[in-house]
Amino acid sequence: MSPCVTCTRRESGFCGAAFRTAPPRPSTNGDQQKFAAVGAGKQLLTQGKSSDYVFVLCAGWAFRYIQVSDGGRQIDRFLLPGDLFSSLSIFEEAPHFSAKALTTVQICGFARAELRERCFDDRELQSVVAQSCLSDGRDAAQLIAILGQCSAEQRIAYLLLHLMRRIAASQVVRERRYPFPLRQQHIADAVGLTPVHVSRVLSLFRERGIVALADGVLEVIDAPALERIGQL
Amino acid sequence: MSPCVTCTRRESGFCGAAFRTAPPRPSTNGDQQKFAAVGAGKQLLTQGKSSDYVFVLCAGWAFRYIQVSDGGRQIDRFLLPGDLFSSLSIFEEAPHFSAKALTTVQICGFARAELRERCFDDRELQSVVAQSCLSDGRDAAQLIAILGQCSAEQRIAYLLLHLMRRIAASQVVRERRYPFPLRQQHIADAVGLTPVHVSRVLSLFRERGIVALADGVLEVIDAPALERIGQL
DNA sequence: CGGTTAATTGATGTGGGTCAAAAGCAGTGG
DNA sequence: CCACTGCTTTTGACCCACATCAATTAACCG
């Protein structure tokens, strides 16, 4: 079985569709590919620790973060099924971020050297990688703008909208209820606030009838209102 | 004259060395390249406005920013001689940012279609582009962490260090005095603070004997102290 | 010389942090 | 079945880093 490098079903997807349905195996498959299933909360990748593989999240949720010296961490991206851990990881050995599983996940690793080699010749693959870099870059720039310029309400609304769209792009959503495995602590680490303030803002959103977030599902009651708050 | 796509003298440089010394011309040169000199403060690029060219800053300073709806702007990168406006601009027609000249600048534009075509075959060029994407991506991730997790002093110290290193990489620095054309307003827009608070923090750094910033030059008196404050 | 733009400084306000307690809610094990 | 533990969320009281508003000074320039 070879990596499905031409799959472009999801906007920023890499080979998600194939791997979401592929049976995960706990071990390596030659030198080309590795599969693994990992429990919720486990460390997947560590900042600066080099690896010869490029990883794709096949199932479950995960997140990338940067550790800061005072003990805090900044989550800079949530990973959904089909996502490359980082599009740039194809070009660098040691990631500039760490990653943790949010739920139980299945991941797949490709030998970087081989992938890179193919990148030189395969235009299709080049284009997929370029698209992935693009969407990564745009998301990063938006997050920078949000963190630098926006209030707590705007930050949280932005995050919810951003995730809603990504979830909706990859699966059918019924009755505006989105699967949402983040704890408030994760939201806090992603938007640069404290968990207690996140709780306050979410309560506020709830009593204003905008969104209700509980038990791992995000229910969007007044999407236009959320967009009014959370757009750049 | 063809673009010097193989020049890798500066870490994140594109073809800076050649263009810094090349005589700028005010008009196009066939369909492949365009040169222009632009005055300080002028708009160079506008968010969402598509163009068929990929731009490189040949001389002077500029900055990229994202406009937010409430009137503020977030500067997400300062551009030094030799920098691509954005490494991702090779792959997208309309930039997700705007750009302005900080000083008088000289810029050079390459036809995107042609550059992209060459990218498919030319491994050297691919590698240069990949390196540029990498350093862009790492810088963005660091800025996200700084904005989300750090205090005003840390943010400003980080920005100063980051720029110091980039300046030092591209030119000789005498007596720890760095050319520094930013106004306090630019610093404020880059680190998500108000200009008056930037002024206060800089005064503090000055009276503590860490840095002195005046008249377009940044004098670093106690570099270790600055690093202690501004590292991630 | 007045007019403009940048930097500084002071007084006061506030969004969000910190600290702490309580409440809800899985597990877990007797 | 209930007590115990640990984790998450909520709520309240208080605090502080930074914003806001406003006045002053300095530099530059036609």
CATH of the domain at B78: 2.60.120.10
B18-45 per-position pLDDT tens digit? 333 344 444 555 567 889 999 999 999 9
Is B145 domain-assigned?
no
- Which residues of chain B neighbour A92 with C-beta distances below 8 Å? 134
The whole-number pLDDT of residue B16 equals 40
CB contact under 8 A, B137 and A142: no
Is A10 domain-assigned?
no
- Which of A67, A135, A147, A158 to probe by mutation at the B interface, max B CB count within 10 Å? A147
Whether A149 sits with its Cβ under 7 A from any strand D atom: the answer reads no
Is A38 domain-assigned?
yes
The whole-number pLDDT of residue B121 equals 81
> How many structural domains does chain A have?
2
Nearest residue by alpha-carbon distance to C1' of C16: A197
- Which of A116, A132, A149 to probe by mutation at the B interface, max B CB count within 10 Å? A149
Distance B94 CA to C19 C1' (A): 48
Smallest CA–CA separation between B23 and chain A, in Å? 32
Is A2 domain-assigned?
no
- Residue B126: which pLDDT band, with cuts at 50, 70 and 90? confident
User: Measured between alpha carbons, how far is A71 from A228 in angstroms, rounded to an integer?
Assistant: 34
Is residue B185 scored above 50 in pLDDT?
Answer: yes
CB contact under 8 A, A147 and B192: yes
CB contact under 8 A, A130 and B76: no
Query: Are B30 and B105 found together in one domain?
Result: yes
- Which residues of chain A neighbour B123 with C-beta distances below 8 Å? 120
Query: Are B225 and B177 found together in one domain?
Result: yes
Is B10 domain-assigned?
no
- Residue A160: which pLDDT band, with cuts at 50, 70 and 90? very high
Is B132 domain-assigned?
no
Is A5 domain-assigned?
no
- Which residues of chain B neighbour A71 with C-beta distances below 8 Å? none
Long-range pairs for B123-127 at CB < 8 Å and ≥24 separation? B123/A120, B124/B5, B124/B6, B125/B5, B125/B6, B126/A119, B126/A120
Query: Are A93 and A45 found together in one domain?
Result: yes
User: Measured between alpha carbons, how far is A191 from B144 in angstroms, rounded to an integer?
Assistant: 10
Query: Are A63 and A124 found together in one domain?
Result: yes
- Residue A5: which pLDDT band, with cuts at 50, 70 and 90? very low
Segments in chain A forming alpha helices (H): 16-21, 112-121, 123-149, 152-170, 184-191, 195-207, 223-230
- Which residues of chain B neighbour A138 with C-beta distances below 8 Å? 88, 96
Closest by Cβ to A66, choosing from B123, B136, B145: B145
User: Measured between alpha carbons, how far is A44 from A100 in angstroms, rounded to an integer?
Assistant: 5
Closest by Cβ to B149, choosing from A120, A149, A192: A192
The whole-number pLDDT of residue B29 equals 56
Query: Are B157 and B108 found together in one domain?
Result: no
A25-36 per-position pLDDT tens digit? 445 555 678 899
Percent of chain B predicted with pLDDT > 70: 87
CB contact under 8 A, A68 and B131: no
Coil, strand, or helix at residue A77?
A: strand
Order across the sheet with A28-29: list the strands: A28-29, A33-38, A105-111, A53-59
CATH of the domain at A223: 1.10.10.10
Is A23 domain-assigned?
yes
Whether A192 sits with its Cβ under 7 A from any strand D atom: the answer reads no
- Protein residues in reach of strand C (CB < 7 A): A 151-153, 192-194, 196-197; B 183-185, 195-196, 199-200, 202-203, 214
- Which residues of chain A neighbour B126 with C-beta distances below 8 Å? 119-120
The last residue of one of the domains, among A97, A122, A145, is A145
Whether A184 sits with its Cβ under 7 A from any strand D atom: the answer reads yes
Distance A200 CA to C12 C1' (A): 26
The whole-number pLDDT of residue B197 equals 97
Query: Are B105 and B169 found together in one domain?
Result: no
The last residue of one of the domains, among A112, A145, A178, is A145
* Neighbouring residues of B16: CB distance < 8 A, sequence distance ≥ 6: B7, B9, B10, B56, B57, B58, B81, B82, B83, B170
Nearest CA in chain A to B137: A137
- Residue A175: which pLDDT band, with cuts at 50, 70 and 90? confident
Query: Are B119 and B156 found together in one domain?
Result: no
Query: Are A32 and A137 found together in one domain?
Result: yes
Is residue B230 scored above 50 in pLDDT?
Answer: yes
The whole-number pLDDT of residue A174 equals 87
CB contact under 8 A, B137 and A137: yes
Give the domain extent around A123.
Answer: 16-145
Q: What is the 3-state secondary structure (H, E, C) of A198-212?
A: HHHHHHHHHHCCCEE
Query: Are B115 and B179 found together in one domain?
Result: no
B138-174 per-position pLDDT tens digit? 999 999 999 999 999 999 999 999 999 999 998 888 8
A210-220 per-position pLDDT tens digit? 999 998 999 99
Centre a 10 Å sphere on the Cβ of residue B2 and count the other Cβ atoms it contains.
Answer: 7
Higher pLDDT, A122 or A191: A191
A81-123 per-position pLDDT tens digit? 999 999 999 999 999 999 999 999 999 999 999 998 888 888 8
Is residue B78 scored above 50 in pLDDT?
Answer: yes
- Residue A232: which pLDDT band, with cuts at 50, 70 and 90? confident
Query: Are B83 and B37 found together in one domain?
Result: yes
Q: Which of A5, A3, A18, A161 is nearest to A82 (CA)?
A: A18
What is the gyration radius of the CA atoms in chain A, in angstroms?
18
Is residue B110 scored above 90 in pLDDT?
Answer: yes
User: Measured between alpha carbons, how far is A198 from A203 in angstroms, rounded to an integer?
Assistant: 9
The last residue of one of the domains, among B125, B141, B169, is B125
Q: How many residue pairs from chains A and B have C-beta atoms closer than 8 A?
A: 113
Query: Are B35 and B115 found together in one domain?
Result: yes
Count of residues for chain B? 232
Is residue A192 scored above 70 in pLDDT?
Answer: yes
Nucleotide nearest to A185 (CA to C1'): D8
Query: Are A101 and A29 found together in one domain?
Result: yes
CB A45 within 8 A of CB A55: yes
CB A138 within 8 A of CB B86: no
User: Measured between alpha carbons, how far is B74 from B144 in angstroms, rounded to an integer?
Assistant: 12
- Which residues of chain A neighbour B120 with C-beta distances below 8 Å? 123, 126
